[in-house]
Structure 1
Amino acid sequence: MDEPRNEVELIEEFLTTHSPELREELILRYVSLIHFVLGRLGFNPYGGIEYDDLASQGMLGLIEAVDHYDPAFGTRLSTYATLKIRSKVLDYLRDLDWLPRMARQKVRSMQSAIGELEVKLHRLPTDEEVASHLNLGLDELSQIQMDSSRVIISLDETTNKMGSDDSESSMHEWLMDEQQEDPSDMYEEKDTRANLVNAIKALPERDQLVLSLYYFEELTFKEIGKTLEISESRVCQIHGRAVVSLQALMNGDSSTKKRGRPSKRESVKAVTDKPSPEPPSRPMLDKYR
């Protein structure tokens, strides 16, 4: 029996021959990425939105990735395919406008409140302070935090708020990408690194931990919940609070406003150039259960 070819050999042969059989083989080899991406976005076969519809969009992204991949991109096909799959799914969700307009407005109001209170208090406000500022109960604030953690409003939009017309990529996507250095970005990159690191460090430790587990360790909300022994909805709430707080901190950075907003690529370089954090230690995990 012939041994399966490795990724490089298979891709090289496909790029040379454009064989329909090899194209199908590549698609089948990477079809599991669709379920990986949907899981990372918080969807499962039993969710409210038709999982099969989302998977179909993911398949379109995978096919597009296989058909348009070029090694000159400087990234692996699996990485490129993951980004394409995610982009297709998010485009589909945006067209559905599946987070109601009123919910979006409440998320914006919460973000503004956090920013205003952060300036006034010289620290991130507590949930109680935000709720009081908005004349809301804690239960309603918790629901808004969960809404803010939905697919489209996350670290992707944090980067958009920092300024960029590039709607084809996102911070979440760039975090997964294998970026090449651009010497022209060197000076602003240092400022951006400091801004992002300081903003993340200003978050409560539990919020930092959830962001680390989700964006760096690539766990789903469900997996994070099992790890921390809390509910999936609680993880979703913490994630939403964290990203909205991060948005408020980044938007309120006076140094960023004075020198002009950095590009999306610069923003993400600041994160991706940092060494990947070590997996949280057992004592740290136990602390937040």
Structure 2
Amino acid sequence: MTLPTHPGPVAAARRANRGHDSYDGIEPLLAELAELAAHDPRRGPLRELCLRRCLPLADHIARRFTGRGETYDDLHQSASLGLVLAVDRYDPARGTSFLAFAVPTIMGEVRRHFRDRTWAVRVPRRVKETQLAIGPVVEQLSQRTGRMPTAVEIAVELELDLIEVTQALLAGNAYRTNPIDSAVDDESGPVSAQVTEALGATDPSYELCDDALAVAPLLRRLSERDRRVLYLRFFENRTQAQIAAEFGVSQMHISRILSRTLAALRARALRD
């Protein structure tokens, strides 16, 4: 079955009812704008008129990119910036229609928005560009084959290496990240819980590390004997009697050294 190449009466009627777009025939105004000097008072109002007439073009292009994870407002803002660049850079002397020049300029600005501002994790520029090109190709191949295309089919369609396509597909996971405090469904009931509540408790080693960092400079102020007693008791796990035997003193004397030293360390740590 072949489809007709000429437009049907319904499509023709729709175009007839739609009329002309506001940017049709914009070239004479742009030519007049190009002839005005930068300081000419007529330039500002004329430039604004051109931008207002061409604004629907930015709207059409922004809507083409909706449904890809970005809000319409952000896309419209990027497309409008592209429109400003197109109006300012258009050269009527080249004889090219404004539409042929503006569409690639605006679409390039929207693609740049996707490439540079919408990734949650830093990804190489080449991978970003490949990832953006995969979306339209997947749609085309899906319509053609009636199923999701494989990475090999995408690589053949884009004429790229399979490794590049695979990297771009994996990079898609870095496009958006879920906030750690977002709500998730709780199996125990209808009340939603935060992700942080399912990640486990606080590691006690953090508190131990803080304590060690706080006490380290205080330990350096102790006498060599007191540091040695603490080391034998808490790092080698010796008993007070064993420590006393090494120093040739009584166990009670070692007990008093430990009590006095620990109390002094605690007081200095809390004071500091």
The alignment's TM-score, normalised by the length of structure 2, stands at 0.37
The alignment's TM-score, normalised by the length of structure 1, stands at 0.35
